[in-house]
Amino acid sequence: MIREAKKKKLDVSCSVAIHNLCFTDDALNTFNTNFKVLPPIRTQSDINELIEGLKDGTIDMVTSDHNPIDIEHKKVEFDHAKYGTIGLESAFGALQNLFSTKKAITFLTNGKQRFGIESSPIKIGEKANLSLFNPIDTYTFNKTHIISTSKNAIFKDVTLKGKAYGIIANNKLILN
């Protein structure tokens, strides 16, 4: 339906959560509640279709789907666990496992327009709003990389390519 709307040149935006591009429902066999997310993870065929949708422009944005859940609602039996995972700290590195740096940045920033966030140009005399990152750093994401007070991370123990270090925004330097 979305692809048909795009073909008719209708202004349609569609997003996908990064974890839905990276994990199959085989991960659910472990009953690890970090994999209990909405929308749920699906098959490799579904992942392939989502990636194709990103490549052909049907899907124009990737989200972190950052949904922190406290330990009391995640460290329970799988059926009783709440849906959610954190994703801000891992989204850039996970997306770069699939796409080039340029594509990863595009997919992560396309939502600015959708949510009415202005883009600020990089010019002399203008306030800087920048993301600070290393696109080639490869590391295994673990608890030490999690800034969120919640630790329910679907990407825990996954090797990621590219690390975000912080931002410069509103005349402030904020580092992870």
> In whole angstroms, what separates CA 1 from the centre of its chain?
24
Does residue 65 have an active-site annotation? yes
The domain in which residue 25 lies consists of 2-175
Amino acid 121: pLDDT: 81
Contact 87, 66 (CB under 8 A): yes
Torsion of CA 84, 85, 87, 90, to 10 degrees: -160
Torsion of CA 86, 87, 89, 92, to 10 degrees: 170
| Per-residue model confidence as pLDDT tens for the chain (176 residues) | 555 655 655 556 789 999 999 999 999 999 999 999 999 999 999 999 999 999 999 999 999 999 999 999 999 999 999 999 999 999 999 999 999 999 999 999 998 878 888 877 888 888 878 999 999 999 999 999 998 899 999 999 999 999 999 999 888 999 98
Amino acid 6: pLDDT: 53
Amino acid 115: pLDDT: 82
Domain of residue 11, CATH code? 3.20.20.140
Comparing CA positions, the residue from 33, 25, 153, 169 lying closest to residue 93 is 153
Catalytic option among 25, 26, 65, 70: 65
Total domains in the chain come to 1
Q: What are the φ and ψ backbone dihedral angles of 164, each rounded to 5 degrees?
A: -85, 135
Contact 161, 138 (CB under 8 A): yes
Q: Is the dihedral of CA 27, 32, 34, 35 positive or negative?
A: positive
- Can you give the pTM of this predicted structure? 0.87
- Cβ count near 52 (within 10 Å): 12
